[in-house]
Structure formats: structure tokens, C-alpha cells
A and B are shown apart, each in its own frame.
Chain A
């Protein structure tokens, strides 16, 4: 308690409302929203008046500025500076969120709008062999993507999982630190550099003109391994040590403990991580551009000759659509749509895996 006695600590309660606590004046609940909307409407009018027609971009710019100002000024005069700053930030953050959503929504809309034109059975059933102009499809490219991605997974998952097991179960000292650091660094390798690496490696053995599906898989594996290691490491770390110790106490050797206890416990997380890693590399274009080349026919052998993958197909159809161009461009958009759907499907599968295979006990 302070030494200066408050003047009337026990003043009669009914005397006045002007007690030591000053009641804050507050805006009604929906006032801020209403003020902001009013600002946007004025902004729209202003934009329409200055340009003579409805202009969406200017409406947004004027509207957000005017709406924010309206909220801030009214709040400042009614509620005071601190509350007004709070309202200002709320408005700014919310508008920034809304503005950031615009390109993302626009992207999805554009791809759907352009891609659905050729989303037909012919697109999935025919290759581009001998196709000039209308028709044709991405049969060869879809198969190519599936084969290359499968090969990539085949290379990356064992190496990635084993390296993660090393980091969590065996790793000690300097090698572990160095490995952790460089796996982190590896996640940031530009995809085209990975492609150049695979090219340099294969060119050493087969000469500079070589283009193989397997070469693309090696390039993608360079990108996929660090993702697998990262996610698997996180998941393996979550397995409680008590389980391992219980297993050791029963005389089970370490490798069987890992195989029979640690991995089954974390299988859901591992599956999710691998699926997300596949989703990450399935859309990579740049490394395949320099390693697998491009061909119109169907080639199912990754160790012999050029192979087309869906992203590369999509890229070439857009940039070199042939004459007349509109058919190639339509195919490019449909391929992009298929690509997005593949990625989304893989993400959903990853979610399902983590839900279905999660250990029943725990948490």
C-alpha cells in the first residue's frame, strides 16, 4: 500500500460514478466493420468518378486506405490513442490477409477456367505422336511422370529413411552435426542446379548428348532426399524413449528394436512425410528440362532414350504450341490442372495416412 492515503477509499457507493476507475468509452461491436465498409464504398465511388467506370484495382486501393483511415480516426476520437492503434493494426492485418488471398484465388480460378476445356478422355488416352493442331493428349507425359517419380521414390526413400535413422538412433559427434547441417543446406539447392548435377554425372559416362528418364530421377532424388530425411527425423524423434528401453530390457537387439518398435510406432508420420516429399518433386520442371528431354511418343523405359514428364510437357505446349497455337495452349493448361490435382491428391492422401495409421494409444 502506498503511504499517501487515498482520498476516499470507502466513499459511499452511491455517491457518483466518477470513481477512481474511469470507464472506457468503447465503440459498439460492429462499428469498426461498418466504418470500414463505408470507407470501401466511398473508395469505390471515388474510383468510379475519377476513371469514369468501375475499376476493381483502384476500388481496392482507395477503399482500403479510406476504410482504414475511417476506422482509425473515429476510434481515435472515441476510444483514445492506444485502442485506435490496435484497431488500425487489426484492419491492416486483415486487409493484408485478404489482399494476399487475391492472387492465390485468382491462380486457382485461372487454371480451372483454362484447364477444363480439354479435360476429356482423349487427353488421358492419347500421346502427341503425329499430332499437329487439334487433339492429342498427355498419355505419354502422365506415364512418364509416374515412372520418373516412382524411380525417384525408390532411390530417395531408402537413403532418406536410413539417414534419418542414423541421425536419431546412431548418430553421435561431428558426423551427426555435419550431416544435419548439410541436409538443411541441401533443402535449399535450386532445382535447376540439381538437374545440372545429374547431367554432369551422366555426361561423364554416356557423353554430353545423353537424355534419360533415370537421369531425371537422379536429379529429383537430390531434391527429395533432404525432404525425406527432415520429415522422418522429426517423426522418429517423437517415438518415446521408454519404448526403446523396454525393448532393450527384453534383450531385443538394437536393429530389431528399430525395425519392430520404432518404425511401426512412427509409420503414420513416415508415410505422411514421404507422400509430401513426392508431392514436392512431382511438379518439378527445371531439372527434368535438362535431363529427360522431350519427346512426342510414349517411352516407358527410363534407361533408354528421352522421356516426357507432365510439367515439361505443359511447359513446352505453352511456349512452343505449334500452329495454330490455341490447341497447344489448351493442352498446356489442362496439363497444369492435372498437375495441381495430382499435388492436391497427394496432400489429401498424406492427411489420410496420418489419420488412419496413427498409433491408437498415446496422447
Chain B
């Protein structure tokens, strides 16, 4: 082909100044968000956390090394979040199944709305409820558990008399992440292909067999992703833990005694207002550890969820 006979390439769209400004500011906003996220990491590492990492361990609070300061906090954070996850996930799946497949149609959307509302309740209020209602209500159970289940390390006792224990914290966190997990599970269960469900029912499956064959396999990775998001929320939860937990440091699997390891976020909230100098750097270094943990959990969750989106053919 010669250049003369070639159809002129589609005329370049005229770039008006308005277009340029608009496209530029939209792109700029996107880049700004990335910068902010990078800034979170950079500021936390270099300007604040680094002094604590490089400092002599004798200068740190308690005169211990940074690892032995942060270690028990990481442990406490993980224990509380895992309890929350173990309690909340089955209940959340049950709620989601109930709303999508068992509840009367007319009530179902209202129930979904109520659950969404509960996801919006501020965490400090959950903390209030935990300390005022849940913790005292759990005391009889702790006494009973220490007496009868004391051979399990989790219930070794002596039981707390205030109920401000790791198990109470885990339960409060479970109540908090319940709406989050169930909202996502509800969404994926509701998207299970109607054809599959109807085919299962037409073959004579009972409702449970239909759910097991058509709904659960379809929604499995959605539930896992939702649970991971809930885990991320539970790991980073601050005030509810700070209010409910009676923390005294130290690594222990005993869930019902009054001496518990604190969590990273709660420790920061409790110590930060009264700290200065290197103590603040240490707290921020622990915050960095929390950031890394939640980042890993969230990336994993997103990876699972998007993997499902690619394979499900739902789009």
C-alpha cells in the first residue's frame, strides 16, 4: 500500500484545554491515592519507626528489644482475631443462607438492610456493649469452664471475675465482623445461578441438597474472601479491644484469666496519648507490623475474590 491511498488514520481527537485539564486532574487524583498509600508506608518506616528499630534496646520502654516488645502484641492480635473469625464465620454463613434461601421473601430484604446497618455501628459502641453487657454475662461461664474444662489449656483459669478476658474480646470482635462477612456471603449466595438451583430442585433434591450442590460451591471463595476481610477488620480493631481487654502483657493461651496479652492496635490507643520521644517511635513501629499483617491478609483476600470473578463467568 502506498501512503497516498491509505485511509487516513482516524483523525486524532482534538485535545481541548478542558479535556486536558480534566483528564489530567482525574489521572492526578489516581496517582495521588497511590502516593498516599506509598506515603503511609514510607513515613511510618523512615521518619518514625526507624529510630525505634535502630535504637539501643535499653532505651526502649521496658528496656527490652523491639522484637520482644512487639512479639506478644502480635500474638495477642492474632489470638483475638482468630477467635473472632472462628465464631463469626459459621454464624455469618448461616445468616446469609437464612436471608437468601430460608426467610420469607418479603422479610428478606428488610433483614439484609438491618444487617447492613449493624455493620455501620461505630466500634467504640461495640466496646461499650462488650464491657457493660457481654463481659459480666460471660463470668459464670468462665467459672464453670475453669472448673470443668480446666484440662484444656484455653480454659486453665483462674477465671477472671470481671470477664475482661481474651475470649470476651474475641466474641465482641466476632459480633463486629459478623455483619461484614454475612453481607459478602449474602451477595455471592444470591448470585448463585438460578438455572443450577432450579435444575437441582427439578431433579428432586431437597433444599439442603440444592444448597450444597449449587449454592455453596459457587459461593465458597466469596465466603473465604469475606472471612478474610472480616479478619482484616478484626486485626485492626482498636477501641473495642482497648475498652474490653484487661491487658498485662505476656504470651499465654489461657483465654479466661485476667492477665492477657494486649493487641497492637489497642496498645497504641492506650499508650499513645501519654507517650513521647522514643516510646512513640516504638508504638509506630508496632503499628507498622500491624500494617504489614493486615496488608498481607487483605491482598490474600482480594486475590481469592478476584480469582473467583475470573472463573465463575458471572460477568
A residues whose Cβ falls under 8 Å from a Cβ of B = 57, 82-83, 85-86, 88-90, 92-94, 96-97, 99-100, 103-104, 106-107, 110-111, 114, 158-163, 165-167, 169-171, 175, 178-179, 181-194, 196-197, 199-201, 203-204, 208-209, 222, 225-226, 229, 253-256, 258-259, 276, 279-280, 282-286, 289-290, 293-294, 311, 314-315, 318-319, 332-333, 336, 339-340, 343-344, 347
Contact = CB atoms under 8 A, between A and B. Distances in A.
Interface in B3-37: 13-14, 16, 18-19, 21-23, 25-34, 36-37
B297 A188 contact: yes
A61 B114 CA distance: 25
A109 B235 CA distance: 27
A90 to B, nearest CB: 6
A111 to B, nearest CB: 6
B124 A283 contact: yes
B134 A255 contact: no
A340 to B, nearest CB: 6
B33 A107 contact: no
A193 B26 contact: no
A107 B129 contact: yes
A76 B154 CA distance: 37
Interface of B: 13-14, 16, 18-19, 21-23, 25-34, 36-37, 39-40, 43-44, 47-48, 90-92, 94-95, 97-99, 102, 116-118, 120-129, 131-134, 137, 140-141, 175, 178, 206-209, 211, 229, 232-233, 235-239, 243, 265, 268-269, 272-273, 276-277, 280, 283-284, 287, 290-291, 294-295, 297-299, 301-302
B247 to A, nearest CB: 13
Nearest to B117: A347
Nearest to B14: A253
Nearest to B303: A181
A315 B123 CA distance: 11
Nearest to B182: A100
User: Which one of B19, B128, B208 has the highest number of Cβ atoms from chain A below 10 Å of its Cβ?
Assistant: B128
A166 B30 contact: yes
Contact of B294 (A99, A170, A190, A290): A190
Contacts of B128: 110-111, 314, 318, 332-333, 336
Contact of A286 (B19, B102, B239): B239
Contacts of B43: 197, 200-201, 204
A114 to B, nearest CB: 7
17 contacts: A57-B141, A94-B98, A96-B95, A100-B92, A107-B125, A163-B29, A188-B294, A188-B295, A189-B294, A196-B268, A196-B283, A208-B276, A253-B16, A254-B23, A286-B238, A293-B273, A339-B124
Nearest to A293: B273
Contacts of A103: 129, 134, 175
Contacts of A259: 22
B192 to A, nearest CB: 16
Contacts of B19: 253-255
B22 A193 contact: no
A179 to B, nearest CB: 5
A286 B28 CA distance: 29
A334 B269 CA distance: 22
Contact of A104 (B13, B118, B137): B118
Nearest to B131: A318
Nearest to B276: A208
A187 B250 CA distance: 31
A315 B209 contact: no
Contacts of B243: 315, 318-319
Contacts of B30: 162-163, 166-167, 171, 175, 179
A278 B243 CA distance: 24
B56 to A, nearest CB: 20
B208 to A, nearest CB: 4
A132 B60 CA distance: 37
Given A97-B95, A253-B19, A289-B272, 18 more contacts: A94-B98, A107-B129, A159-B33, A166-B30, A182-B33, A192-B236, A192-B268, A193-B294, A196-B48, A196-B268, A197-B43, A285-B123, A285-B239, A289-B239, A315-B124, A315-B243, A319-B243, A332-B128
A90 B102 contact: yes
B32 A159 contact: yes
B123 A197 contact: no
A352 to B, nearest CB: 13
A60 B13 CA distance: 70
Nearest to B48: A200
A349 to B, nearest CB: 12
Contacts of A160: 29
Contacts of B95: 96-97, 100
A169 B26 contact: yes
Contacts of A256: 18
A171 B97 CA distance: 37
A212 to B, nearest CB: 15
B29 to A, nearest CB: 3
A97 B114 CA distance: 13
A190 B235 contact: yes
B26 A93 contact: no
B238 A197 contact: no
Contact of A110 (B21, B27, B97, B129): B129
B129 to A, nearest CB: 4
Contacts of A99: 91
Contacts of A181: 302
Contacts of B126: 107
B40 A190 contact: no
Nearest to A92: B94
- Leading 9 A-B pairs by shortest Cβ distance: A190-B236, A283-B122, A96-B94, A162-B29, A188-B298, A255-B22, A86-B206, A286-B238, A166-B26
Contacts of A165: 26
